[in-house]
Amino acid sequence: MDRKTNRLMLLIVACSAAGVVVGGTSNWVDSHQCLKKQAPTMECLTQDPLVKTIHGMSIGLIAGAGAALGATMQLKEEE
């Protein structure tokens, strides 16, 4: 692997990891705030917080990887 490929992979991994953390944390907090409401909705009561957190993490992974690819494409166009 050359140096540019290594930087691309590092950027994708870093952005994906950040997306996983942000997405998982966001959905975890949202599910716990939903349960603490005085009148929680039926959707809030039936959804498993762990499943909702994992869903947020997967969406964050995809969003982070997409952001890294988009940034890389933009940098290549500027060269």
Q: What's the CA gap between 30 and 43, in Å, rounded?
A: 13
Query: Could you read off the pLDDT of 15-50 as tens digits, one per residue?
Result: 999 999 999 999 989 888 888 888 888 888 888 888
* Mean pLDDT (the chain, rounded): 87
What does pTM read for this prediction? 0.79
Q: What is the pLDDT of residue 12?
A: 87
Q: What's the CA gap between 32 and 76, in Å, rounded?
A: 42
pLDDT of 72 above 90? no
Confidence band for 1, pLDDT divided at 50, 70 and 90: low
- Give DSSP secondary structure letters for 2-62: -HHHHHHHHHHHHHHHHHHHHHHHHHHHHHHHHHHSSS--HHHHHS-HHHHHHHHHHHHHH
